[in-house]
Amino acid sequence: QVQLVESGGGLVQAGGSLRLSCAASGRTFSYYLIGWFRQAPGKEREFVGAVSSTGHYTYYLDSVKDRFSISRDNAKNTVYLQMNGLKPEDTAVYYCAARYGGASSRRAEDFGSWGQGTQVTVSS
């Protein structure tokens, strides 16, 4: 099992950009599908996007797919979420999560390891 730590959150104006990082421990990081989720106050946790174990395949929530991109560097055990064109409705705590074996999913319950989250706040 991997341990995950997110970083890079903060306060940004609408239209701005942030890059979140998800650093993982463990030698089998390259066996894991890594997903990003977010949770706004009073709302359920929502799938944002994910990257395959090799980094060759990504998929996203429709409302972010033209603004966000996910990449990974398996040599550094790190996954990145680049967020451009941020909107106030993107404000949430962002979590990265890992699913062993790499099968694609958008369901939070399919991901067994989670980070502690990082706050992203977008002001209007």
Residue 83 near residue 96 (C-beta atoms within 8 A): no
Q: Percent of the chain, pLDDT > 90?
A: 93
Local structure of residue 43 (DSSP, 8 states) = S
Specify the pLDDT at position 26. 79
Q: Where are the alpha helices (DSSP H) in the chain?
A: none
Q: Is residue 83 very low, low, confident or very high in pLDDT (cuts 50, 70, 90)?
A: very high
Specify the pLDDT at position 100. 93
Q: What is the pLDDT of residues 90-114, one digit of tens each?
A: 999 999 999 998 789 999 999 999 9
- Amino acid letter for position 6: E
Q: What is the pLDDT of residues 13-47, one digit of tens each?
A: 999 999 999 999 977 899 999 999 999 999 999 99
Q: Sign (positive/negative) of CA torsion 40, 16, 60, 10?
A: negative
Q: Percent of the chain, pLDDT > 70?
A: 100
